[in-house]
Amino acid sequence: MELSEHIKTANVEDVTLRRPFHPALRGTLCVTSHHLLFSNRKDEASWQLLILLKNIDAIEKSVENLFGYPRAVGSSGTITIKCKDLLVLQLEIPGMEECLNIASSIEALSSLESVTEMYPFFYRPSHLTLLGPWGLSTTEQYYKQTERLWDRWRVSKVNSDYSVCPSYPSAVIVPREVDDDKLIRSARFRQGGRFPVLSYCHHSNGMVIMRSSQPLTGANKKRCKEDELLLQAVIDGSELGYIIDLRSAQQAQQARMTGGGFESKSCYRHWKRIHRHHERGKVVQESLIKLVEACSDLSHSVDRWLSKLENSKWLSHVHSALSTAGLVVECVERDGHSVLVHGSEGTDNTLLVSSLAQIILDPASRTVTGFLCLLEREWIQAGHPFQQRCAHSAYSHARLKQECPSFLLLLDCVWQVWRQFPLALEFSEALLLRLAQEVYASNYGTFLCNSEQERCAAGVKENTHCLFQSMLKPDIEEQYLNPLYEPTDLAIWPSVHPQSLQLWTGMFLRWTEYAQNMEEAREEVWSIVKEHRERV
């Protein structure tokens, strides 16, 4: 079925658009294969609103005269469009049939599942070329640039055909002394084949953060010699390493019943296991839904608001992610031990914690380029299933499948760090907001698919543009810079006391009046800094 076949009514005139805190506008509404276009042609300066259909999370229609006289003059319908970036729009469409047609076209086109039909495969702006590099760096390049790895670590291509671990990239960094056969055996002992690989090597003491999925010890307490050797090789003679298990001890025990498990003390003698409970999957998605619901009701009393905020548990997730990342950093930086992080699948909270730890630890990941490289390495290449996790956002009424805002949670945590250390990050909130938007709906191919393997199969690299590359173009990058940036080499320990954590207003109150004044303040900061730079 061609995309255009979904479009029953392409154009409607005299549509009224209502946005929060803006006067209503009349204009023409147009549905294309990938976009919803509203243009206000009456005014001299024509104004357009272009929304990616993929950005539409939910659509609600209310039609007058639904059961009355369908052809009655003056019948009209209202469509409420709720976007994944949390914007809510209303369209008043004259003509009931048109309204229903538009609504059903949007519904069909916004929930396309075939990757190659998605807009990034059609996005061809004149200023970008498909010939340029896709992505910022590869595992090999990262290894080459990181001299401290050369001695004890190597790049393994054991997964070059994605047969060992379908969700891993083709190349991973592992201890030099562990050969590929051992890796294959270790992979068989880990859920989804996600054997322990290097995530970060600390610049000051060479200690590392590894990540993996849970070991498949099962009820019979199976062992895997190679997996044990692999971890032994990680700590290489030093007497201790930490395994940060992102489940409670009880959950880890229960996981054995379904074939999963944890590293027992007797088999991994030099590793000390610490359990930290993290919510995952549906629970976190529901938190997001509740939070957004709480933010959009303006009639709340303060008590009711606080109660809803508490009830959403979103800030609790932020709190636990930052606390555990702090714990990892403490092990690495202060105690000088290597760490293995995993939960169950090792594709969500594991990545969240390991990348947050790097931001706290590593000044290189606090620059714009460094941060984007970190996301590429730790989320895109590491196989966070973006397509599944970000299929829907906070408004959708669809039954939850694999949705989980892990990436949004990361952005929120980074925002908390930025708020506590407004001088330490090279990028600003604008970058985080842009990423929060792009991850759900994008012109670019960066967040498509669930793994490198899938991206290869779909030809993402050949046929789409890379978001990160485009963000780093000098004229674009500037808008994401933090005017107050002053690099520091030290670890930036975020406070995880509950009163130090706040609602990310820039994100969750983005479309309210509240954001306006903040924007003015940001401009003011820029103008002071610019004025200063001119003098210098």
Binding site residues, other proteins, CB under 8 A: 276, 294-295, 298, 300-307, 309-310, 313, 315-316, 318-319, 323-324, 326-327, 329-330, 333-334, 420-424, 484, 486-503, 505, 509, 512-514, 517-518, 520-521, 524-525, 528-529, 531-532, 535-536
| Residue 304 CA: distances (Å) to CA of 162, 284, 287, 307 | 50, 21, 16, 5
Nearer of residues 96 and 353 to other proteins, judged by Cβ: 353
**From the CB of 83, what's the least distance to other proteins, in Å?**
20
In terms of residues, how long is the chain? 536
**From the CB of 121, what's the least distance to other proteins, in Å?**
39
Measured CA to CA, the distance from residue 407 to residue 385 in angstroms comes to 10
Please tell me whether residue 18 adopts helix, strand or coil conformation.
strand
Tokens of residue 249, six digits: 């001890």
Nearer of residues 91 and 294 to other proteins, judged by Cβ: 294
Nearer of residues 399 and 535 to other proteins, judged by Cβ: 535
**From the CB of 379, what's the least distance to other proteins, in Å?**
23
| Residue 372 CA: distances (Å) to CA of 149, 350, 512 | 21, 18, 28
Q: Are 17 and 91 in contact (CB under 8 A)?
A: yes
Nearer of residues 4 and 248 to other proteins, judged by Cβ: 248
**From the CB of 409, what's the least distance to other proteins, in Å?**
13
Residue 123's nearest CA partner among 405, 409, 464, 381 is: 464
**From the CB of 417, what's the least distance to other proteins, in Å?**
10
Measured CA to CA, the distance from residue 511 to residue 518 in angstroms comes to 12
**From the CB of 529, what's the least distance to other proteins, in Å?**
6
CA atoms within 13 A on the CB side of 105: 25
**From the CB of 334, what's the least distance to other proteins, in Å?**
5
Contacts of 70 (CB under 8 A, 6+ apart): 96, 97
Nearer of residues 254 and 488 to other proteins, judged by Cβ: 488
Q: Burial, 290: exposed, middle or buried (Cβ in 10 Å; 0-12, 13-18, 19+)?
A: middle
Contacts of 294 (CB under 8 A, 6+ apart): 300, 305, 308, 309, 311, 312
- Please identify which residue in the block is written with the tokens 């790097």: 358
Nearer of residues 198 and 244 to other proteins, judged by Cβ: 244
Nearer of residues 32 and 512 to other proteins, judged by Cβ: 512
H/E segment holding residue 525: helix 513-535
CA–centroid distance for 150 within its chain: 30
Nearer of residues 287 and 442 to other proteins, judged by Cβ: 287
**From the CB of 424, what's the least distance to other proteins, in Å?**
6
Return the CA Rg of the chain. Answer: 25
Nearer of residues 304 and 401 to other proteins, judged by Cβ: 304
**From the CB of 88, what's the least distance to other proteins, in Å?**
16
